[in-house]
Amino acid sequence: MDDLGHALASGGPDLKMLGGGQPARIPAMTAVWRKRMEELMEEMGGLERALTTYDPPRGNPHFLQAIATLFRETFGWNLGPENIAVTSGGQTAFYFLFNLLAGEMPDGPRRKILLPLVPEYIGYSNQGVSGDLFHAIPPLIEKTGPHEFKYRVDFDKLEITPDIAAICASRPTNPTGNVLTDEEISRLSAIAKQHKIPLIIDNAYGAPFPGIIFADAAPYWDEHVILTYSLSKIGLPGTRTGIVIGPPEIIRALGSMSAIAGLSNPNIGQQITLPLIKSGEILRLSREVVKPFYQEKCRLARAAAEEIFGDDFEWFMHRSEGALFLWFWFPGLPISSKELYERLKQREVLVIPGHYFFFGHDNPNWKHRHECIRVSYAMDETVVRDGLRIIAEEVRHCMNLANA
């Protein structure tokens, strides 16, 4: 992140920032937020509630009730406000959860979070206050088309040892856009329940909001399951509003951690979205505005990649089932993805080298992890297309030199 920040700050007007997770500004959603800000300004006490008071550490009681009601009425889940907590962004939610459940334990043993499939979200990797928190299972790789593949959970290698504190997966997955199937989620849930540990599912891009999910995937919850949501990808990243659904004892602990770490959480996101959550409008906006917007951007980016990369060297894209990214795999790449990143940076194209997303897996020599990159398609179509052209040129050049 520091290197990307310096490159972004020193880059010229032609810099193509395809390495970040910044969501796009969707005009229709911006209009919704502008209208809500105007309503708060006009409403008696609205501005004061949003800006001049401390909410309880676990979140505004009306917001917690609205979230519980939305999920109870939409999915029939047995939820109340005691199952809901707000945090200062989804990243903070995971910092709290991981360090609450894993790391050095008071009774001596060190516990870890099991990632049933990597690559996984880079933002988890350094969150342990007492060092590495993760044990990861390499995926099964299924080629699903001439230039397409998909990662799947290797259940034959998934083992719950006594030091495993919880299972965690994002759905859709950042960086790949992979969506764990309903069957995979059910199997992971059954395994977690059998071993009396939580299953944590990160829904930062998922259902029912923001709904940046293009595969059939039913939302899932049970009494041992912890779900996380965020207002960032629906278009409010600056409000830093994370939402956690889970067992009451976990939720109470998160409230205590919020009180200790920051006294209270930001109010503004809760107040902006409260009426949209109460009415269910947030679900319609996710379904009819946010999802189609990103699905079309994904279609255009994939079509551009197919055209630009061609067939003169071997390459694959992960099947795009959601989120904001294309995940490329270049089998036989003669340089590492980190070296490719440096070459692209010299040409003012910023991506993320793939090896950073394979944390928790103890085989650094597995070549696949050094043959992948993450590319955001949330930027303007012209920027994405130009960036893909330069990526293809660099990879083609490396492949040709290696084969000469």
Q: For the domain that residue 126 is a member of, what is the CATH number?
A: 3.40.640.10
pLDDT at 105: 84
Same domain, 351 and 210: no
Same domain, 230 and 289: no
Task: Decide which of 279, 312, 329 is a domain's last residue.
Answer: 279
Task: Decide which of 279, 298, 323 is a domain's last residue.
Answer: 279
Tokens of 394: 């660099």
Residue with tokens 């390499």: 138
pLDDT at 21: 84
Does 35 fall in a domain?
no
pLDDT at 12: 63
Same domain, 111 and 260: yes
Same domain, 247 and 311: no
- pLDDT tens, residue order, the chain (404 aa): 666 666 555 556 778 999 988 899 999 999 999 999 999 999 999 999 999 999 999 999 999 999 999 999 999 999 999 999 999 999 999 999 999 999 988 877 889 999 999 999 999 999 998 888 999 999 999 999 999 999 999 999 999 999 999 999 999 999 999 999 999 999 999 999 999 999 999 999 999 999 999 999 999 999 999 999 999 999 999 999 999 999 999 999 999 999 999 999 999 999 999 999 999 999 999 999 999 999 999 999 999 999 999 999 999 999 999 999 999 999 999 999 999 999 999 999 999 999 999 999 877 678 999 999 999 999 999 999 999 999 999 999 999 887 76
> Of 243, 233, 177, which is closest to residue 21 (Cα–Cα)?
233
pLDDT at 33: 97
Class of residue 267 by CB neighbours under 10 A (exposed 0-12, middle 13-18, buried 19+): buried
The count of C-alpha atoms lying within 13 angstroms of the C-alpha of 226, restricted to the half-sphere facing its C-beta, is 28
> Of 171, 167, 59, which is closest to residue 116 (Cα–Cα)?
167
Strand order in the sheet with 352-353: 140-145, 148-152, 316-318, 325-329, 372-376, 352-353
Residue type at position 244 = V
Same domain, 274 and 307: no
Same domain, 16 and 71: no
pLDDT at 361: 84
Same domain, 186 and 315: no
Q: For the domain that residue 381 is a member of, what is the CATH number?
A: 3.90.1150.10
Same domain, 302 and 380: yes
Same domain, 205 and 338: no
Q: Is the pTM of this model over 0.75?
A: yes
Does 37 fall in a domain?
no
Does 376 fall in a domain?
yes
**In contact, 90 and 204? CB cutoff 8 Å:** yes
Based on its alpha-carbon atoms, the radius of gyration of the chain, rounded to whole angstroms, reads: 21
Does 400 fall in a domain?
no
pLDDT at 385: 97
Does 214 fall in a domain?
yes
Does 36 fall in a domain?
no
Taking only the tens place, the pLDDT of each residue in 104-152 is: 888 778 899 999 999 999 999 999 988 889 999 999 999 999 999 999 9
Angstrom distance (rounded) from CA 308 to CA 310: 6
**In contact, 81 and 64? CB cutoff 8 Å:** yes
Same domain, 109 and 125: yes
DSSP H or E segment with residue 68: helix 61-75
Task: Decide which of 279, 314, 333 is a domain's last residue.
Answer: 279
Angstrom distance (rounded) from CA 141 to CA 183: 17
- In sequence order, what are the residues at sequence separation of 6 or more whose Cβ sits closer than 8 angstroms to the Cβ of residue 286? 208, 209, 210, 211, 234
Does 403 fall in a domain?
no
pLDDT at 132: 84
- Residue range of the domain that includes 360: 2-29+285-395
**In contact, 21 and 90? CB cutoff 8 Å:** no
pLDDT at 10: 57
Tokens of 362: 């103890």
Taking only the tens place, the pLDDT of each residue in 21-51 is: 889 999 999 999 999 999 999 999 999 999 9
Does 309 fall in a domain?
yes
Residue 189, Cβ neighbours under 10 Å: how many?
Answer: 18
Same domain, 92 and 216: yes
Same domain, 229 and 302: no
> Of 372, 371, 219, 385, which is closest to residue 299 (Cα–Cα)?
385
> Of 120, 116, 233, 230, which is closest to residue 176 (Cα–Cα)?
120
Q: What 8-state DSSP symbol labels residue 330?
A: -
pLDDT at 365: 77
- Number of domains the chain is built from: 2
What sign for the dihedral angle of Cα 251, 255, 256, 261? positive
